[in-house]
Structure 1
């Protein structure tokens, strides 16, 4: 029974940490394409100011930063690099400001994990036909898994998590294209029939522990 509970936990973690990011990256790519950006570098550059306010502890202007979905500096550094230019605007804070950063050349959405995907979608993919309730559900279950007191799931909890995430991610995939939906279905089906051995579960636990520690270091409110 203990191994079954661990296997349920492991399978659900893989659904959230592997399958969901694949589809959410397609959601982001689809969004910036429809917004007229030729690539995600251009899209990030256009939305740099908004993301900076989510990440920075100080305001660069009079806009009050949101703390609903905070951004870690480590996440910002995956998307932007410092430049040597002086401030191009009328920023009121000394030191760093968004003018002093550029979107990383040649960047793709593949650098984004599930947390960063959810953050970008929630904060800068506005006005799109994206069901944000799905994003909230996926993010909530992800956090419950990462911060769980034990790496196990009983059958009722597993069934609830699996159903909620599967419904959400397939609906989002279908919004993008039939191809993305088909690819997502295939990935989920592979997980549903996958048998996780002890070694895989132990390696996955190490990943979860690392994620938990990183969030404890960078968390601020």
Structure 2
């Protein structure tokens, strides 16, 4: 494994871990601001039913089941807390009536995966967003996190970098104008910065931790689906 291969892997990883969430969070903030919500907390509280069914495919008190890929429990717990209320309809199962958005919650708690999920399932109402760009970012992120080794050849790296850059800069157009400028500046800085060999292990550890968490959550989702089908 060469330093250059590791540096390419580390650079694209930092792009996905740091730059992408910065921009995507601003897209989410712009969406809820333009739709009349006072804060992300306000938005979550008023849309918790839709979000609940991204988390959970079971029926709730409205007898509706999700048809989308579910949010995992750890992502839900970043945004919501369970309250002491019982369901207002008398429903005895778990339902969104029993949850509130966390006080003061902001998009800063969202990583790239949660940002992509949120934009795909909630912000699709935002006219003009090209959802294929969100798919591109999420797909390349998954390729990186599930890679067998922490290295990339030049051809693969250039392909990933250019695809993510194009997608992210287009998405930045759905946020305040300064976000596009800031995103481009962050990308250019990352393109030219020297990668310290000591960073590689830390980056790989972050990605492996995320991979392990996702594997656990996938098992939980499978159990949930089997419960529904039983």
TM-score by length of 1: 0.94
Measure, in 2, the Cα distance between the counterparts of 1:209 and 1:28: 27
Gaps of 5+ in 2: 223-230
Equivalent residue of 2:100, what SS? strand
Which one is further off, 56-65 or 134-143?
Answer: 56-65
Measure, in 2, the Cα distance between the counterparts of 1:165 and 1:141: 8
Measure, in 1, the Cα distance between the counterparts of 2:24 and 2:64: 28
Cα offset for 1:143? 0.6
- Corresponding position of 2:65: 64
Equivalent residue of 1:126, what SS? helix
- Corresponding position of 2:225: none
The alpha-carbon distance between structure 1 residues 89 and 124, as it changes in their structure 2 partners (threshold 3 A), is farther
- Corresponding position of 1:116: 114
The number of aligned residues is: 218
Please, what is the CA RMSD of the aligned residues? 1.3
Measure, in 1, the Cα distance between the counterparts of 2:162 and 2:202: 25
Cα offset for 1:50? 1.0
> Structure 1: which 4+ aligned runs deviate by more than 3 Å?
none
1:61-100 aligned at under 5 Å gives the runs 61-68=62-69, 70-89=70-89, 91=91, 94-100=92-98
- Corresponding position of 1:216: 215
- Corresponding position of 1:10: 10
Measure, in 2, the Cα distance between the counterparts of 1:49 and 1:211: 27
Gaps of 5+ in 1: none
Give per-residue Cα distances to partners, 1:101-121, cap 9 Å, x unaligned.
000111111010001111111
Give per-residue Cα distances to partners, 1:68-123, cap 9 Å, x unaligned.
3x2111110000001011112464xx332100000011111101000111111111
Q: Is the 8 A contact 2:136 2:164 kept in 1?
A: yes
TM-score by length of 2: 0.91
